[in-house]
């Protein structure tokens, strides 16, 4: 487990992760987070590198690491990592390159 994963898990634990109403609701939420984040990704062959990390409802976000290949020719298919923050209220994903995760 890398430092980012550990930090995200610690944040979720200390903020009191939100409680879904049922295991099915959690499963549907996780699927929605992954689907929305992968659609927002700029990487080719993108896939979830982690399970979503849930933040307290006061924060309102889920976090997900995405891994894939850079699409630019000059990157020669190198692997990249992005951090996706999923806005639970608006059901939108915000993605940013996560260069620190690979160094």
Q: Where are the domains positioned within the chain? A: 3-102
Per-residue confidence (pLDDT) for residue 101, from 0 to 100: 47
pTM metric for this prediction:
0.74
pLDDT band at 36 (very low <50, low <70, confident <90, very high): very high
* DSSP E strand boundaries for the chain: 44-48, 53-54, 61-69, 79-87, 92-97
For residue 94, pLDDT beyond 70: yes
Structure tokens at 51: 């399970």
pLDDT recorded at residue 75: 86
In the prediction, which pLDDT does 72 show?
Answer: 87
Output the pLDDT for position 63. Answer: 97
Tens of pLDDT, residues 54-93: 998 899 999 999 999 998 889 888 999 999 999 999 999 9
Three-class secondary structure of residue 73 per DSSP: helix
Confidence bin at 2 (pLDDT 50/70/90)? low
Q: Kindly state the average pLDDT of the residues 31-59.
A: 94
pLDDT in tens, 13-25: 444 444 547 999 9
């Amino acid at each position: 487990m890398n430092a980012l994963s550990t930090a995200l898990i610690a944040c979720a634990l200390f903020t009191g992760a939100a409680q879904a109403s049922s295991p099915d609701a959690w499963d549907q939420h996780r699927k929605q987070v992954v689907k929305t984040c992968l659609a927002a990704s700029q990487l080719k062959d993108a896939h979830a590198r982690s399970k979503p990390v849930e933040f307290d409802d006061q924060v309102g976000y889920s976090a997900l690491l995405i891994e894939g290949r850079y699409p630019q020719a000059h990157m020669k298919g190198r692997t990249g990592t992005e951090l996706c923050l999923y806005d639970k209220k608006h059901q939108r994903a915000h993605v940013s390159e996560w260069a620190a995760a690979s160094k």
